[in-house]
Structure 1
């Protein structure tokens, strides 16, 4: 599964994309609506950062900032590691492991966001493998 191209993992899945000037409260509501744990942050359509649930917790709430008035560009992670959609999913897993992150933005050649690969995607692949293994074992049990 790690050799699958990232574009197959994304498969037109919705993701949150917001301007650096968007208030944190609005971004987190968009994240909630789409059940996303991160938002890609752009300036003039170009990826400039990523904002995650952890950023909301530690950089906004714990810091005592007002989510209604704080622009997401002030509390996002600037210049995150990115990949293109033609790379194998294993590259994303490697980036996550090496950098201690759970999200990798996927961009096109002009740095425009295409989606986000998450650690949850890796778990989903493991769950599929686990399901297939359970089915195989069940079939063997029936034969025996």
Structure 2
């Protein structure tokens, strides 16, 4: 699992993006619809930043700002750690752990976002492996 390339982990799944002028409310709706806890802020194909659930709670809601009037640009994290789609998944998890964040944009050779990796992706992969292992054990039990 840790040596799988990130491109295999994220596959072709869509990832949420918004423009910098989008509102926090609009971004939250997109996040809900796509079942994502973060959204990438992109303009003309280039990554400008990221907004996570934590950003919304700590930088908007807790300060009493209006989500319908607050722009993504005003609260996004701009110094975003990215990772290339060819890197091993374990490397991404290590960077996320060391950096204390749960989301990492995945980029191609040109720095264009091609996906969004989340820490919970590790649980999804482990869950799949567990499922395969259980099926294999049941098959062996029937044979023996």
State if a TM-score over 0.5 links the two structures: yes
Unpaired runs of at least 5, structure 1: none
C-alpha distance in structure 2 between counterparts of 1:136 and 1:10, whole Å = 25
User: Equivalent residue of 1:96, what SS?
Assistant: helix
Task: Give yes or no for contact 1:46–1:110 (8 Å, CA) kept in 2.
Answer: no
Contact 1:15 1:34 in 2 (8 A): yes
How far residue 3 of structure 1 moved from its aligned partner, in angstroms, is: 1.1
Superposed displacement of residue 17, structure 1: 0.8
Query: Structure 2 regions of 5+ residues with no counterpart?
Result: none
**Counterpart residue number, 1:126:** 126
1:101 and 2:101 are equivalent in the alignment: yes
Question: For residues 45 and 62 of structure 1, what CA distance do their matches in structure 2 show?
Answer: 31
RMSD: 1.4
User: Between Structure 1 and Structure 2, how many residues are aligned?
Assistant: 144
Q: Which moved more, 1:20-29 or 1:106-115?
A: 106-115
2: CA distance, partners of 1:112 / 1:129: 31
Once the two structures are superposed, residues 37-71 of structure 1 have per-residue CA deviations (whole angstroms, 9 ceiling, x without a partner) of 11011233311211111111111111111111111
Alignment of 1:18-33 (within 5 A): 18-33=18-33
Corresponding residue number in structure 1 for 2:55? 55
Distance across 2 between alignment mates of 1:44 and 1:136: 47
CA distance in 2, matches of 1:92, 1:68: 33
Give the corresponding residue for 1:89: 89
Q: Shift in Å at residue 137 of structure 1?
A: 2.6
Bigger mean CA deviation after superposition, 127-136 or 99-108: 127-136
TM-score (norm 2): 0.92
Scaled by the length of structure 1, the TM-score of the pair is 0.92
CA–CA distance in 2 between the matches of 1:107 and 1:79? 15
